[in-house]
Structure 1
Amino acid sequence: MQDRISLWHEQTNRYATELREFKQQMVAQIETLDKDKETLRTDLDSVGTRVDRVEREMDYLETQNGAQPCVDVDDKLVEQQVTVVKEKNKVKYAKATDCRDMISSIKAMKILKRVGGPKGMWTKDVGSSSGKVYIFNGTDEDTIYEFGSIRDFTISQGTSMAKTVRLPSPWRGSGHTVYNNHAYYVKEGKELRLIKYNLQNDSVADSAVFPVQDHVPVYSLTPETVIDLAADEEGLWAIYATKETERHISLAKMDANTLDIEQMWDTPCPRENAEAAFIICGTVYVVYNTALPSRSRVQCVFDVSDMVTNDDAPLVYFPKRYGSHSSLKYNPLEQLIYAWDDGYQILYKLAMKKKLEV
């Protein structure tokens, strides 16, 4: 009788233990299901956004490769449609801010260190004051090096103190930018695709086909760069070139959230002998190599608000030390240019003045 009671107690304890374990498993599964539910809801929202994006891209492709009409279209009507598009691009630019700064001169130059190959890009987040530094080494790679500060970057042995961010696809060229916690870069294939990558949750936030045909390198001295993305006080920009305007550089204002193009301009700035460019307050400054081996110079300026012309712009020389600049990125919070020169990371301190003072 005593043995049976002991066995009954043992079985009861075992069943109670199993029941508790089962309860814990069920609670954990319910929590997992709740998380999966939220993830699915987020994914559905993302899918909805991407469907909208695909629809916009299909609309664009249809305009580029539309079916031949069954009846002849009046040539005058076609000309009118082309004129409407061109006139839309000539509409006066509506500034997002009241910034009127332009370069007066290069106040100082500081060579921080040498990390990486001859071509690349380094920058801070243009749209935030986080202080983080981002290194894009090379013209066809997929790993970003993120440093907590300029000091961490300076004292680090190579990239030993950096966090590595692996992108889902390689970038092309050295025309990337970091803006409001997102890396914007170009993926090259059958078409040029802009990628917006969220650096906080390590995921692609959006992507879009850049709607130009027959693209060519932006700068003759940096042929790997097919689109140079830049951010300033006004937001996100794309500097590019096509066979249609092969001798000169073009400019587009973009929506940083949707990657839509808001407005486009053909500039008078030639591609020949150009190294790189940067944008300040809606003005693009194109830097060219000079006959002097230790200098490069801003030789062409294009202001979307028509406040500054080449005749107005001051002569600005960069005291270059090594090769040619593969990238120049302006930081409006610091009024510094982050330059990559033959693997050396250089800071240029700018002296500024107001556009109306020219």
Structure 2
Amino acid sequence: MSCRGGAKQRENRPASDPAYDLGNGAYQEMKAEVTEVPASQLIPEGSPNFTGCGELQSVGDPVLHKKADSITGKYGVWLQDPEPQGPNYNNKTVWRIDTVGKDVRQVFAYEDMDQLSQGFPMKVLVLPEPMESTGATMYRGSLYYQRKHSRSLIRYDLTSERLASRLELPHAGFHGQHPYSWGGYTDIDLAADEQGLWAIYSTNKAKGAIVISKLDPESLEVKRSWETNIRKNTVANAFIVCGRLYTVGSYTAPNTTINYVFDTATGMGRALSMPFKNKFRYNSMVDYNHAQRKLFAWDNFHMVTYDIRLGKASNSSS
């Protein structure tokens, strides 16, 4: 499978861009031309009542939950913990992090979606180490994120409000070496699914191709890794569902596609052409919540979710 695209850092940013001025160059923005990959095989329709862990069949239209009201919310992370732990938070708790700025540390907790939409956090946590980009994820009572200007991964326990684990992700590119096509220093993207915790990144050895690593959720140690044959800077975003990596073709095109799948169970990847919508035309984060069977995304100040449908896996990979 091949996906050709070029990515180059956008130079001579206009002085009128308030996000750039605010961050004083604290985030990286890229411009990419992504060639759409034709489907090598269309995925058959699955049963709408399918409840097992399977292959992605379709992604619904985005549903808007909240629009950020300041320039710091142009890019961000918002999540609900699929497997919450401890007495303080549950699966209705909404977490939000605005990621534009020099020193991203604030994590806003909302009681539920209604409180998020009204803009009333019940608590604001302050991270002990600053965060890099929009690749954070939530899993089993912890926030997992990449430390700014490093390949260090951090597990922050939400109940004790303390750093619980820290580990360098071996050989991982960071701070603009191997980002997604939109830039944003999205070199390391953390994800959680039915099978556990993952890291999506690249290395110099992989020459920019996406590497997937299964992580120990307690220690953050790498348990196993896979190298794909799709370059990270040619895709806009990626997420993992049932042990399968999916990539999104464009972050700005209102009607783009999920253009590639890699199955860690077989070690095989193939092209797809599954419709995906960037309604607000600047999607900087896509993350899967396996408890809700939804994708959470941050699209140009807008916090949206997508319903997804899974079905039995296709037997064909190449």
TM over 0.5: yes
1:145 to 108, 111, 127: 108
* Cα distance in 2, alignment partners of residues 261 and 234 from structure 1: 14
* Cα distance in 1, alignment partners of residues 312 and 223 from structure 2: 26
1:200 to 155, 159, 163: 159
How far apart are 1:213 and its partner, in Å?
5.4
| Partner-residue secondary structure (3-state), 1:168 | strand
| Partner-residue secondary structure (3-state), 2:116 | helix
1:178 aligns with 2:138: yes
When residues 272 and 307 of structure 1 are mapped into structure 2, their CA distance, relative to the original with a 3 A threshold, is closer
| Partner-residue secondary structure (3-state), 1:108 | coil
2:148 to 171, 182, 188: 188
Contact 2:53 2:310 in 1 (8 A): no
* Cα distance in 2, alignment partners of residues 213 and 349 from structure 1: 32
* Cα distance in 2, alignment partners of residues 261 and 230 from structure 1: 14
* Cα distance in 2, alignment partners of residues 265 and 274 from structure 1: 18
Question: What is the aligned partner in structure 1 of residue 23 from structure 2?
Answer: none
| Partner-residue secondary structure (3-state), 2:147 | strand
Q: How does 1:201-216 map to 2 (within 5 A)?
A: 201-212=160-171, 214-215=173-174, 216=177
Structure with the higher strand share, 1 or 2: 2
2:290 to 309, 315, 332: 332
Contact 1:221 1:273 in 2 (8 A): no
**Alignment RMSD (CA, Å):** 2.2
How far apart are 1:320 and its partner, in Å?
1.3
| Partner-residue secondary structure (3-state), 2:248 | strand
How far apart are 1:298 and its partner, in Å?
0.9
Output one character per residue of 1:116-172: Cα deviation in whole Å (capped at 9) or x when no partner.
52211111012235211110111550000111111211233xxx3341010011100
How far apart are 1:214 and its partner, in Å?
5.0
How far apart are 1:265 and its partner, in Å?
1.0
Question: What is the aligned partner in structure 2 of residue 263 from structure 1?
Answer: 224
* Cα distance in 2, alignment partners of residues 141 and 289 from structure 1: 26
When residues 357 and 108 of structure 1 are mapped into structure 2, their CA distance, relative to the original with a 3 A threshold, is farther
* Cα distance in 2, alignment partners of residues 245 and 347 from structure 1: 32
Q: How does 1:111-130 map to 2 (within 5 A)?
A: 111-115=64-68, 116-128=72-84, 130=91
When residues 320 and 220 of structure 1 are mapped into structure 2, their CA distance, relative to the original with a 3 A threshold, is closer
| Partner-residue secondary structure (3-state), 1:167 | strand
* Cα distance in 2, alignment partners of residues 213 and 104 from structure 1: 31
TM-score, scaled to structure 1: 0.66
1:280 aligns with 2:241: yes
Deviation >6 Å, runs of 4+: none
Contact 1:99 1:233 in 2 (8 A): no
How far apart are 1:218 and its partner, in Å?
3.2
Contact 1:227 1:239 in 2 (8 A): yes
1:242 to 170, 179, 203: 203
* Cα distance in 1, alignment partners of residues 154 and 137 from structure 2: 11
Contact 2:173 2:201 in 1 (8 A): no
How far apart are 1:244 and its partner, in Å?
2.4
How far apart are 1:336 and its partner, in Å?
0.5
Question: What is the aligned partner in structure 1 of residue 253 from structure 2?
Answer: 293
Aligned amino acid, residue 177 of structure 1: T
Q: How does 1:1-358 map to 2 (within 5 A)?
A: 100-115=53-68, 116-128=72-84, 130-139=91-100, 140-156=103-119, 160-189=120-149, 191-212=150-171, 214-215=173-174, 216-289=177-250, 293-306=253-266, 309-311=269-271, 313=272, 315-356=273-314
Contact 2:105 2:126 in 1 (8 A): yes
How far apart are 1:356 and its partner, in Å?
4.3
Aligned length: 254
Aligned amino acid, residue 301 of structure 1: V
* Cα distance in 1, alignment partners of residues 212 and 52 from structure 2: 19
When residues 357 and 250 of structure 1 are mapped into structure 2, their CA distance, relative to the original with a 3 A threshold, is closer
When residues 131 and 308 of structure 1 are mapped into structure 2, their CA distance, relative to the original with a 3 A threshold, is farther
Contact 2:240 2:246 in 1 (8 A): yes
Contact 2:55 2:314 in 1 (8 A): no
Contact 1:99 1:281 in 2 (8 A): no
Structure with the higher helix share, 1 or 2: 1
Q: What percent identity do the matched residue pairs reach?
A: 26
Output one character per residue of 1:2-48: Cα deviation in whole Å (capped at 9) or x when no partner.
xxxxxxxxxxxxxxxxxxxxxxxxxxxxxxxxxxxxxxxxxxxxxxx
| Unaligned segments of structure 2, at least 5 residues | 1-50, 85-89
Aligned amino acid, residue 313 of structure 2: K
Output one character per residue of 1:36-69: Cα deviation in whole Å (capped at 9) or x when no partner.
xxxxxxxxxxxxxxxxxxxxxxxxxxxxxxxxxx
| Partner-residue secondary structure (3-state), 2:249 | strand
| Unaligned segments of structure 1, at least 5 residues | 1-97
When residues 214 and 238 of structure 1 are mapped into structure 2, their CA distance, relative to the original with a 3 A threshold, is closer
Contact 1:249 1:266 in 2 (8 A): yes
